[in-house]
Amino acid sequence: GAVVSQHPSWVICKSGTSVKIECRSLDFQATTMFWYRQFPKQSLMLMATSNEGSKATYEQGVEKDKFLINHASLTLSTLTVTSAHPEDSSFYICSARDPLERTQETQYFGPGTRLLVL
């Protein structure tokens, strides 16, 4: 299957700082990437859909000014958590679809980024 990477895998930051998380599709071009958030022992919650060359679509309740998404190329989407606070500590996972795959809806997931805000 397709490979999606994330960087960094772990980040610890001070409250009030901004953190950027990268999501890359390694062997395919992804016009659409998704960002999820997962709290301990809970399911994944879709935060936003990232579309290459256009604005991201945010789910209800997700602050777009706090979680900035940029999808500047067909292989890279970034999520920036601005002015991070301890309640933003979570596991952030991205996924991407390979438009050339027969099951075009299948999403391939990155390994996740664990964010801890002190």
Partner 1 sequence: GEDVEQSLFLSVREGDSSVINCTYTDSSSTYLYWYKQEPGAGLQLLTYIFSNMDMKQDQRLTVLLNKKDKHLSLRIADTQTGDSAIYFCAESRAGNQFYFGTGTSLTVIP
Q: Toward partner 1, which CB reaches closer, 7 or 82?
A: 7
Cis ω on the peptide bond leading into residue 86 (within 30° of 0)? no
- Alpha-carbon distance of 86 to 22, in angstroms, equals 20
- Residues forming contacts to partner 1 in the complex (CB under 8 A) are 1, 4, 6, 32, 34, 42-44, 46, 49, 93, 95, 97, 103-112, 114
Query: Is residue 88 a contact partner of residue 79, using CB atoms and an 8 Å limit?
Result: no
Distance in Å, CB of 40 to partner 1, minimum: 11
- Residue closer to partner 1 (CB basis): 44 or 74: 44
Q: How far is the CB of 50 from partner 1 (least distance, A)?
A: 12
Residue with tokens 């399911």: 43
User: CB of residue 73 vs partner 1: minimum separation in angstroms?
Assistant: 20
In the structure encoding, which two tokens stand for residue 74, read together? 């067909």
Nearer Cβ to partner 1 (83/106):
106
The DSSP output letter for 29 is -
Q: How far apart are CA 7 and CA 112, in angstroms?
A: 8
Three-state DSSP class for 53? coil
Least distance in Å: CB of 6 to partner 1?
A: 8
Q: With respect to partner 1, which residue has the nearer C-beta, 1 or 61?
A: 1
